[in-house]
Structure 1
Amino acid sequence: MPSLAQMKGSLHIHQFYIGKLRAKQAQLFESDPELAQLLDNVAEALSEHVVTLADEIAELVYER
């Protein structure tokens, strides 16, 4: 099982890339709506994983 620090690092990386995907999606919305939708789907999947990670982190912190 990853350490708390590793999980927090992973959470930060996920959030960083979600921001990048959302920014690129906004840029592409008019010129390539299909790609923009794909980026939105990827960002949504990562966002769901962020929720799971955050829950796991909260559980680890609570157990300590």
Structure 2
Amino acid sequence: MPSLAQMTGSLHIHNFYIGKLKAKQEQLFESDPELAMLLDNVSEVLRERVVTLADEIAELEYEE
């Protein structure tokens, strides 16, 4: 199992890329709506992983 520091780092990386995807999605919304929708779907998958990571981190912090 990854350490708490690794999981926290992964959480920050996920959030960083979610922000990047959302910014690019907004840029492409009018010029390429299909790509914008795809980027939204990818960011949704990452957000689901963020929720899971946050839960795992909270559980590890509680156990310590």
Q: Which range, TM-score by smaller chain?
A: over 0.9
Number of the residue aligned with 1:26: 26
Q: What TM-score results when the alignment is normalised by the length of structure 1?
A: 1.00
Q: Paired residue for 2:5?
A: 5
Runs of 4+ in 1 over 2 A off after TM superposition: none
Q: Which runs of 5+ in 1 are unaligned?
A: none
Aligned partner of 2:41 in structure 1 is 41
Q: Aligned-residue CA RMSD in angstroms?
A: 0.2
How far residue 47 of structure 1 moved from its aligned partner, in angstroms, is 0.2
Q: Determine what percentage of the aligned residue pairs are the same residue.
A: 83
Match for 1:34: what amino acid?
Answer: E
When the two structures are superposed, what TM-score results if normalisation uses the length of structure 2? 1.00
Q: Which residue of 2 aligns with 1:53?
A: 53
Tell me the CA shift for residue 15 of structure 1: 0.1
Partner of 2:15: 15
Letter in 2 for 1:35: L
